[in-house]
Structure 1
Amino acid sequence: MNAQIPPVAPTVQPVMRTTCPYCGVGCGVLASPDGAGGASIAGDPDHPANFGRLCSKGSALGETLGLETRLLHPMARGRDGRMARADWDTAIGSIAQAFGKTIETHGPDAVAIYLSGQLLTEDYYAANKLAKGFLGTANVDTNSRLCMASSVAGHRRAFGSDTVPGVYADLDEADLVVLIGSNAAWCHPILFRRLEAARAMRGTKLVVIDPRRTATGDEADLFLPVNPGKDTVLFAGLLAWLADHDALDHAYIDAHTTGLADTLAGARAMAPDIAAVARETGVSAADLVQFYTLFATHERAVTCYSQGVNQSAQGTDKVNAIINVHLATGRIGRPGMGPFSLTGQPNAMGGREVGGLANQLAAHMNFTPVEIDRVRRFWQAPRLAEREGLKAVAMFEAIAAGRIKALWIMGTNPAVSLPRAGAMREALESLDFLVVSENVASNDTLSCRPHLVLPALAWGEKDGTVTNSERRISRQRAFLPPPGEARPDWWAIAQVGRRLGFDEAFAWRSAADVFREHAALSAFENDGSRDFDLSGLAMLDDAAFNIMAPVQWPVRSAGDSADKRFFADGHFFTPDHRARFVTPKPARLARETSTDFPFILNTGRIRDQWHTMTRTGLSPRLGAHLPVPFVEIHPSDATKLGIEHGGLVSLRSAHGSAVVEARLSVGQKRGALFAPIHWSDATSSNARINDLVARITDPVSGQPESKATPVAAMALPVRYRGFVLSRRPVTELPATWWAKVALEGGAGYLTATDLGPEEWKRHTAKILLTSDYAEYVDAPGGVYRAAAFDEAGALTGAVFLSPSGAPASWDGLKALLAARTLSSVGRRNLLSGRGEGQITPRGPLVCACFAVSAPQIEQALASESGADVARLGQLLRAGTNCGSCVPELKKLIRQRAMLDMATITPPA
């Protein structure tokens, strides 16, 4: 049977409504194709998640379209170890043969599939059905295990189901919002802007709980700098305090919950009094009382939590500690109140709906005998898996141990994102059969010698659905044709299923077919007994699917488009329909610091980058804010270690190492560090932060501890700093350390090295890919500059090196890479370090949405005394879109006010 490639449907709409591929907010996007493979991007004013706003990443989506980095054809590894182009029919046959042979020889548990929250729901559903229903393995997990599995586990323990109770509108209606483990101002900026609007209109109080003072903490009415891992103590203390101050809703507790007495006793043991909570959490007693009083006196209270809670060896307990206080006060499921999980990926929720996690079946069903039988009958599955599979970290441990022999990875980069990422690479290379579905031609995982690589569709080409953090299903529509031979992931999975002999089960012709089946399974033998129900969408025809508006589940009847909350009526999805209070275990770090590893490393995201940067790393705008991998360290710790701001730091744990730049920050706790997760071997020489993170997981959720790794930090002095500008990829850099940044017209490489001018001079021809270049050498002064130009006189590449104590800045030069011509004076000035006359230094970017730099803002503040954020928005547009730069704008305003005050105040 030949794999039938679906026809390419032409784009007929000049403007397409689709959904952003980044975080779990699920913003609506208007894409206007330009007919040349690109598109202009705007927010969809009619989408209820964002009402037209987009964050910096969403605004820059148009810069990430293009085929330069794309995988366009199936590629297979030959006997000589080299990858060569293959046809789809051969590729599908190879997967079917490898999976079939592995199952025959080693059993179904020797096969696994590793998925991604970047996949559409239809892709997720197809993979889950193939593996659990027809291959007989539940070893199907997802990178969403790394970001929200603890929330799933906490929901299921408390509610009996993985149900998010609230909606985004609760942020509009709350009188108190608590953000814990969430830098929402940077990671969920559209929701944070919504919260800021509510604060302005109704005076909503904001409490932020975080070990580090982030941009979100800067905006809080009350900031609580909790010690790492002590969130459960803080919320246990809150539960006990509420009980002691007669602030519990006993009517709701008695009617709709069970287990309070034991949980309250456990809370009192963990947090016997305010003084004990203060000692454990590192939060002052006065601030604790203020927070507890705010929670007690503001009935409309929402607690939003994200990775700082979930990514922990105690993540599920942290989630339940939060849920406990909402159940105890009856503040759940009503307007303006409830616990709210902010998911990290665009379709983490959709993956949960279809059983993308190894411990779930599709349609929010579990591995119980009744539900196993129900799914088996619906799918008519010949060998449905009957027990939970291996969660992500355990799955890769089984690969390393040789128990899993064949693996299919889709849409994720585990060689960067998993704990002990370096060891994961070795595990992947040991597989008997590895197939990777990807839309990029190279990343760290593709360097692990897969046997087969399949070209997947990218955002703009995909067609299907995603579900955001508030349970809202939106269409992600194609506005670009599939390039080369790239095809939908659901289609590739279906072809493998058919090649294995299951034609009828995988006879889908479109994403709409898959969605209808998914909706029908949610409705099968449901009658309101399960939370997830799409009965009203199961009969959509293709035309209705194509125009489907964003809708929040459950959708139990056709045309039901209302927003829904859960649990206000006290009906839960446990056997007795009562919610469960859950007693957290005593809070402690999975690994404590030591003499060898005296710091606690916290990892996370930054404002303008996403995951491993295969998409955002293509945008010059997004790369300009924080261009290099870094570690935040408190100034006092830095001083003790001889670390300077901007200097290189070597980080080391028991599991790996990395080299990054230092950023001194008083918002960082003493003894604690923060480093972002985004850089990989493709974008830096040695900055894969997850190499350092241990494979320690939450015992319930299986989610790894990414927020508290003991590490050592050491200054790494280098003699020279510099940069390379190039229109073409650079393959040779004689540098100790480098980081790649997208620039208009090419790329830049920031470098550090102990090799001096004479050594660099010998490499220049290979760096610039030409022997025709001009250069300037000052060997005694440690300065080297070289530049190459095309026939029109435009810059094609440059190499700059100077002593590390006086590093050259590329702010005035990097714009020349995109310039079509450069005068002879400009060329001479470039080598002198002055650049072209009309090019002025831009300085660090502050507003990525409108490319507004710090010097521009400082100039505006100097010219208009007393300007505030609103006035800067009028002058420069900064802060008027996603608002994630507003904290930095406020900081610059404060600095200018202090400067003005110092100028007008005479010395004492």
Structure 2
Amino acid sequence: MDGSGLPETRSTCPYCGVGCGVLLRPDGQGGLAVRGDPDHPANRGKLCSKGAALGETVGLGTRLLAPQIGGVDVPWDRALETVAARFSDTIAEHGPDSVAFYVSGQLLTEDYYVANKLMKGFIGSANIDTNSRLCMASTVAGHKRAFGTDTVPGTYEDLDEADLVVLVGSNLAWCHPVLYQRLMAARATRGTRIIVIDPRRTASCNQADLHLALAPGSDVALFNHLLTRIYEGGALDKSYLQHVSGFDAALCAAYADDLGVTGLDQEEVARFCQAWIGTEKVVTIFSQGVNQSTSGSDKVNAILNCHLATGRIGKPGMGPLSVTGQPNAMGGREVGGLANMLACHLDLENADHRAAVRGFWSSGPLPMAPGLKAVDMFDAVEEGRIKALWIIHTNPAVSMPDADRVARAIATCAFTVVSDVTAETDTARLADVLLPATAWAEKSGTVTNSDRTISRQRAVLPAPEWVRDDWAILAEVGRRMGWEAAFDYAGPAEIFREHVALSAIAGRFGKDFDISGLRDLDDTAYDALPPTRWPVSDAKDGGRFFAQGGFYHADGKARMLPLRWRAPAAKTDRRFPYRLNTGRIRDQWHTMTRTALSPRLSAHLAEPFVDIHPADAAEIGVAAADLVRLASPQGSAILRARLTEAQTPGQLFAPMHWTADYAPTGRIDAVVAGATDPVSGQPESKAAVVSAARFEAVWYGFAVSATEFKPEASYWARARTPAGWRAELACTAPVADWEAEARRMFGLPSASAMVVEDVARGTARLAFLEAGRLVAALFVSPRPVAVMRDYLAGQIDQPGTDILTGLTPADRPDPGPVICACLDVGVNTILSAIETQGLLSVDQIGAALGAGTNCGSCRPELAALLAARVVREAAE
């Protein structure tokens, strides 16, 4: 059965917080066709490269298919009884605060709800935190300080109506491409202007009217300056300020701050202020460059201060908009999945709120104070204060700052449980008990995106026999710990209805999160639930917040805060002279558990890298494609150098995605310190300090293989290809016999070999064939290997007669490295079309080749190729 006759199922993409709707059609053989849902309000049929490749990431190849204890498969009954007994015994001996849950924005709201209820309501500890702490905790803190609760005021429709959009610490083009395309459409139709505020020049700058490359961490000083110019320029909304307190103190603090710390040209700052003040319909989008800072909460409030002072909030085309990095970061906030929150935006430290939730749950006493936030939680694990830890759908051994120390802490914890879809993560390998969970497309529930839209995820593929839903795993452990009635759920619809009922209590307390209007949903209506923006209540249905005030502090007013710029926690010095910024790339996501399964997504940037300004590279003797060793007081990493003037001298950028499974020395969070924002507890991942030096290898290599292999070398980075695997290698130890080494590495003791070796030059080229067809090849040189990598990766299972040249035969075109991952269009194909067809615009490239016509996230790179051609022609 090919599945062509099967119906499509509406669901939601499992990647970023845009919350795109998808239409899924199974092929009847475990595969899946995916396209954007044209009726979903978040994406209107668009998908980014990651979403478009979702069908390539399903299957059982890397799945955990049975519970394991000590690496041995066991029945569910034994695994669950072990978890329940160890947690119960630990609590009985050491108290409820001796255990902790570390959960994830990958959980559905129903899963999250059960986890929070189990920990806070019945175990009686607030020690449940989430990887969303690394993503948007500073926004939560900023919202609560300004608004009285964690409310996102605006909607995505504001991007369609704004006249100016300011991106602060947000590379929207790569990290939220569908929203970026929405912004580009607004620019094309209504001339929306764009300003980017970011220390480095990103893809989002290519269509911007202005880029302010401010010094890392200096956002507060810039927005304080804007506030003073708002005041001097007569742009205050004095009527709206009747709904706001704290203006005078905020303005005094703003005048006391020093714009000079931003390092910006005053004329450019003046242009920014003039544009912001002179444009009523302004949206300020902010993301991790704001949040991931020891002053992240203050950065958020500095932005909010400006919108509150001008009344530009909650109205069409204006307001602050936080964009989140996970599909259900917002849903986790709604159910109280952070250590300092109670469910439904109720306050953990409010006795009336605790009493109401306790009565609703019929639970024991709820914790009276916040639990351990992520960094503190793993500190407590290391110190032995946390003796039982349950990690669900996240990989802190890679993603937490000071990742090596976190990995050691997990390894030494008295009892660690990991629930995940695979055992092949750095964290899962450290667990005492592994619990196999259903994966996206196998589970059913809800998620909430960055503009408060609740969408359904629906099961469309059959789950493997021995895996279970997360809510079911958590509920069964709760029952086995003695709370049978509280966790006696029949399915996610019942959990959702309980969540709805609790939100009605929050509504009666006057809270923003109230979806009590969904109280009549039966199982059928839940299954058919369309995308729905909260709140949904008798008092308010969807829409924006705060256009007429109505804030959630006791006096009904918003708070403007007096703020001053603070430098990043880590200071550069002669030992660690460079400031390191970490972040995402276009085609990978988080720690690659899903995206690395797609060869297409690995084709664009196949190994970890560090972006470095040419002047810095010259100073340390690094050339393009050299390997660079970064070191900090916490750890080290080895990365491929990319020389680019997009970096400001003295600043480096490296992506966060690579793990021990794909590039052991590329785990960049091993060099990031665990310094946190004192209000939000969010780590500072954008301002580490490092040294940088050329990595001196004896030899470098490039390898391709039909089968999976893991090299043994000082540096290696591997990626899937359509025909197998590819890898970059480098090592400080010489190899005496390259054929023997290659046979060992590839596991090919008897394949026929073609070998060309030049001992004097230190080069070797080897190809291995079976039945006359290529199964593996290795190219070695004392310098980074110069071969056509994408061509070689495509020669697996082809006749290998010409392979050792490492070059495309003259009669065969080489598409080159992939630029457009959606449609698999390489750079050489694009350059050839530009030259031979006289293409002059990105749209013309799209018409000729399709590149840039799907998600559009490669359009900045296409524009750069065109610009390079213009520069080259001018030079000629």
TM range, normalised to the smaller chain? over 0.9
Q: 1:187 aligns with which of 172, 175, 188?
A: 175
Structure 1 residues 527 and 421: alpha-carbon distance in aligned structure 2, compared to 1, 3 A threshold: same
Query: Residue in 2 aligned with 1:43?
Result: 36
Question: Structure 2 matches for 1:652-691, cutoff 5 A?
Answer: 652-691=631-670
Deviations 1:730-777 (A, max 9, x none): 13x242211011101211111123455634323122122122231312
Query: Scaled by the length of structure 2, what TM-score is found?
Result: 0.97
Deviations 1:333-388 (A, max 9, x none): 00000111011111000000000000001111111101100100110112322221
- The reply on whether 1:743 has 2:710 as its aligned counterpart is no
- The reply on whether 1:339 has 2:312 as its aligned counterpart is no
Deviations 1:186-215 (A, max 9, x none): 001100110111111111111100000101
Q: What is the rounded CA distance, in whole Å, between the counterparts of 1:412 and 1:11 in structure 2?
A: 35
Question: Structure 2 matches for 1:266-345, cutoff 5 A?
Answer: 266-271=253-258, 277=259, 279-345=260-326
Name which of structure 1's ranges 122-131 and 480-489 shifts more when overlaid on structure 2: 480-489
- The reply on whether 1:433 has 2:415 as its aligned counterpart is yes
Deviation at 1:12, TM superposition (A): 11
Q: 1:71 aligns with which of 61, 64, 71?
A: 64
Q: What is the rounded CA distance, in whole Å, between the counterparts of 2:875 and 2:412 in structure 1?
A: 64
Q: What is the rounded CA distance, in whole Å, between the counterparts of 1:506 and 1:542 in structure 2?
A: 18
Structure 1 residues 875 and 757: alpha-carbon distance in aligned structure 2, compared to 1, 3 A threshold: farther
Q: What is the rounded CA distance, in whole Å, between the counterparts of 1:806 and 1:503 in structure 2?
A: 62
Q: What is the rounded CA distance, in whole Å, between the counterparts of 1:525 and 1:188 in structure 2?
A: 31
Structure 1 residues 12 and 553: alpha-carbon distance in aligned structure 2, compared to 1, 3 A threshold: farther
Q: What is the rounded CA distance, in whole Å, between the counterparts of 1:839 and 1:393 in structure 2?
A: 53
Question: Structure 2 matches for 1:156-305, cutoff 5 A?
Answer: 156-253=144-241, 255-271=242-258, 277=259, 279-305=260-286
- The reply on whether 1:877 has 2:850 as its aligned counterpart is yes
Q: 1:598 aligns with which of 577, 585, 588?
A: 577
Deviations 1:651-672 (A, max 9, x none): 0001100000111110111111
Query: Residue in 2 aligned with 1:774?
Result: 753
Question: Structure 2 matches for 1:55-70, cutoff 5 A?
Answer: 55-70=48-63
Q: What is the rounded CA distance, in whole Å, between the counterparts of 2:832 and 2:478 in structure 1?
A: 62
Deviation at 1:587, TM superposition (A): 2.1
Q: What is the rounded CA distance, in whole Å, between the counterparts of 2:875 and 2:572 in structure 1?
A: 43
| 8 Å CA contact 1:415, 1:421 repeated in 2 | yes
Deviation at 1:813, TM superposition (A): 1.3
Query: Residue in 2 aligned with 1:93?
Result: 81
Q: 3-state SS of the aligned residue for 1:813?
A: helix
Query: Residue in 1 aligned with 2:831?
Result: 858
Q: 3-state SS of the aligned residue for 2:795?
A: helix
Deviation at 1:280, TM superposition (A): 1.3
Deviations 1:617-665 (A, max 9, x none): 1111111111110111111111111011110000000110000011111
**Root mean square deviation of aligned Cα:** 1.7
| 8 Å CA contact 1:625, 1:846 repeated in 2 | yes
| 8 Å CA contact 1:773, 1:786 repeated in 2 | no
Question: Structure 2 matches for 1:632-711, cutoff 5 A?
Answer: 632-711=611-690
Q: What is the rounded CA distance, in whole Å, between the counterparts of 1:98 and 1:428 in structure 2?
A: 16
Deviations 1:830-877 (A, max 9, x none): 134346787543222111111111101101100122431111111111
Query: Residue in 1 aligned with 2:379?
Result: 397
Q: 2:493 aligns with which of 501, 509, 512?
A: 512
Name which of structure 1's ranges 580-589 and 409-418 shifts more when overlaid on structure 2: 580-589
Structure 2 letter corresponding to 1:259: G
Q: 3-state SS of the aligned residue for 2:239?
A: helix
Query: Residue in 2 aligned with 1:5?
Result: none
- The reply on whether 1:114 has 2:102 as its aligned counterpart is yes
Deviations 1:401-422 (A, max 9, x none): 1111001000000000001000
- The reply on whether 1:842 has 2:818 as its aligned counterpart is no
Structure 2 letter corresponding to 1:138: A
Q: What is the rounded CA distance, in whole Å, between the counterparts of 2:573 and 2:159 in structure 1?
A: 42
Question: Structure 2 matches for 1:880-899, cutoff 5 A?
Answer: 880-899=853-872
Structure 1 letter corresponding to 2:695: L
| 8 Å CA contact 1:846, 1:853 repeated in 2 | yes
Matched positions, count: 871
Structure 1 residues 436 and 734: alpha-carbon distance in aligned structure 2, compared to 1, 3 A threshold: closer
Structure 2 letter corresponding to 1:875: A
| 8 Å CA contact 2:423, 2:429 repeated in 1 | no
Question: Structure 2 matches for 1:776-795, cutoff 5 A?
Answer: 776=755, 777-791=757-771, 793-795=772-774
Q: What is the rounded CA distance, in whole Å, between the counterparts of 2:768 and 2:809 in structure 1?
A: 15
| 8 Å CA contact 1:466, 1:474 repeated in 2 | yes
Structure 2 letter corresponding to 1:304: I
- The reply on whether 1:728 has 2:707 as its aligned counterpart is yes
Query: Scaled by the length of structure 1, what TM-score is found?
Result: 0.94
| 8 Å CA contact 1:757, 1:778 repeated in 2 | no
| 8 Å CA contact 1:494, 1:506 repeated in 2 | yes
Q: 3-state SS of the aligned residue for 1:92?
A: helix
Query: Residue in 2 aligned with 1:867?
Result: 840
Deviation at 1:97, TM superposition (A): 0.4
Query: Residue in 1 aligned with 2:738?
Result: 760
**Overall identity of the aligned pairs, in %:** 51
- Could you list the runs of 5+ residues in structure 1 that have no partner in the other structure? 1-9, 78-82, 272-276, 904-908
| 8 Å CA contact 1:11, 1:481 repeated in 2 | no
Structure 2 letter corresponding to 1:360: M
Name which of structure 1's ranges 322-331 and 617-626 shifts more when overlaid on structure 2: 617-626
Query: Residue in 1 aligned with 2:364?
Result: 382
- The reply on whether 1:351 has 2:332 as its aligned counterpart is yes
Deviations 1:146-190 (A, max 9, x none): 010000000000000000000000001011111000000000110
Structure 1 residues 219 and 539: alpha-carbon distance in aligned structure 2, compared to 1, 3 A threshold: same
Deviations 1:2-61 (A, max 9, x none): xxxxxxxx9996211110010000000111101111111110101000000000110111
Query: Residue in 2 aligned with 1:6?
Result: none
Structure 1 residues 754 and 840: alpha-carbon distance in aligned structure 2, compared to 1, 3 A threshold: farther
Structure 1 residues 782 and 522: alpha-carbon distance in aligned structure 2, compared to 1, 3 A threshold: same
Name which of structure 1's ranges 521-530 and 482-491 shifts more when overlaid on structure 2: 521-530
| 8 Å CA contact 1:775, 1:784 repeated in 2 | no
Q: What is the rounded CA distance, in whole Å, between the counterparts of 1:12 and 1:486 in structure 2?
A: 28
Structure 1 letter corresponding to 2:245: T
Q: What is the rounded CA distance, in whole Å, between the counterparts of 1:563 and 1:289 in structure 2?
A: 37
Deviation at 1:236, TM superposition (A): 0.3
Question: Structure 2 matches for 1:596-635, cutoff 5 A?
Answer: 596-635=575-614
Deviation at 1:137, TM superposition (A): 0.9
Q: What is the rounded CA distance, in whole Å, between the counterparts of 1:841 and 1:13 in structure 2?
A: 38
Q: What is the rounded CA distance, in whole Å, between the counterparts of 2:826 and 2:385 in structure 1?
A: 53
Question: Structure 2 matches for 1:74-153, cutoff 5 A?
Answer: 74-77=67-70, 83-153=71-141
- The reply on whether 1:718 has 2:697 as its aligned counterpart is yes
Q: What is the rounded CA distance, in whole Å, between the counterparts of 1:495 and 1:13 in structure 2?
A: 34
- The reply on whether 1:459 has 2:440 as its aligned counterpart is yes
Q: What is the rounded CA distance, in whole Å, between the counterparts of 1:182 and 1:362 in structure 2?
A: 29
| 8 Å CA contact 1:428, 1:434 repeated in 2 | yes
Q: 3-state SS of the aligned residue for 2:376?
A: helix
Deviations 1:213-257 (A, max 9, x none): 10112221011011001000000000011111111111110x201
Structure 2 letter corresponding to 1:108: P
Deviation at 1:429, TM superposition (A): 1.4
Structure 1 residues 625 and 11: alpha-carbon distance in aligned structure 2, compared to 1, 3 A threshold: closer
Deviations 1:779-821 (A, max 9, x none): 2232222223333x3322222212316533322211122x4xx
